[in-house]
Amino acid sequence: MEDTFRHKGLRKKLVETVKKKGIRDKKILEAINKVPRHLFMDTGFINFAYKDQAFPIGEGQTISQPYTVACQTQLLDIQRHEKVLEIGTGSGYQAAILMELGARVYTIERHRNLFLKVQTLLPGLGYRPNFFYGDGFKGLPSFAPFDKILITAAATYVPEELLKQLKVGGRMVVPVGGMGYQEMTLIIRKGENDYERSNHGGFVFVPMVSGTSNGK
């Protein structure tokens, strides 16, 4: 599948939509303009790829809405070369956006099929994050600490293990809440035992689930 002028044109419109909704960060808008979102979705959904909406990617999961991706990315305040942990690789779209901003991405997925699929897709588009199959609740202790941690599924609470894996001065962004509504939460680690928490509006994500799809 290719990236045509039509796709590029639709992408420009999507950038305008996201901008109108309040995203001002130029680098994030440029990243959305660059990443071919239609290639992250099943062929049947191509016509919807550049609508500002979430869509199914199989296994009951979704590719996040571009505005949501932009909001989470903006809150993370990504700088080049930062080490970023993403929980919930899913389609790989959010990881691609992070890499467009120069981040070094470590990404974990609990669904075996999604994990396998994205490992062909992303490198094929020139994106090479470090892929992990596992339970994001545990994070990646052997690769910690991280400058930034991003959870792209709804957590009913902030996972303690992930707070420990955040650098002092680092930021974590996580939608916290139950089914149907979560509050976008930014946590800044101010000191060894000092975490500052703030809320940034309501969103809807698929739930964060512990364990992996094959039960390990």
Question: CA-to-CA distance for 177 and 175, rounded, in angstroms?
Answer: 7
Question: CA-to-CA distance for 30 and 97, rounded, in angstroms?
Answer: 9
Which residue do the tokens 């790829």 mark?
A: 49
Is 63 among the residues that bind ligand SAH (CB under 6 A)? yes
Site for ligand SAH in 71-100 (CB under 6 A): 87-88, 90-91, 93-94
Is residue 197 a contact partner of residue 186, using CB atoms and an 8 Å limit?
yes
Is 36 among the residues that bind ligand SAH (CB under 6 A)? no
Interface stretch with ligand SAH, choices 74-82, 133-141, 180-188, 191-199 (CB under 6 A): 133-141
Q: Confirm whether 64 is a catalytic residue.
A: yes
Is 114 among the residues that bind ligand SAH (CB under 6 A)? yes
Tokens of 165: 């894996």
Is 188 among the residues that bind ligand SAH (CB under 6 A)? no
Is 137 among the residues that bind ligand SAH (CB under 6 A)? yes
**How many residues sit close enough to ligand SAH to count as binding (CB under 6 A)?**
24
Contacts of 216 (CB under 8 A, 6+ apart): none
Question: CA-to-CA distance for 163 and 150, rounded, in angstroms?
Answer: 11
Interface with ligand SAH by CB under 6 A: which residues?
61-64, 87-88, 90-91, 93-94, 108-111, 114, 135-137, 152-153, 206, 208-210
Active site residues: 64
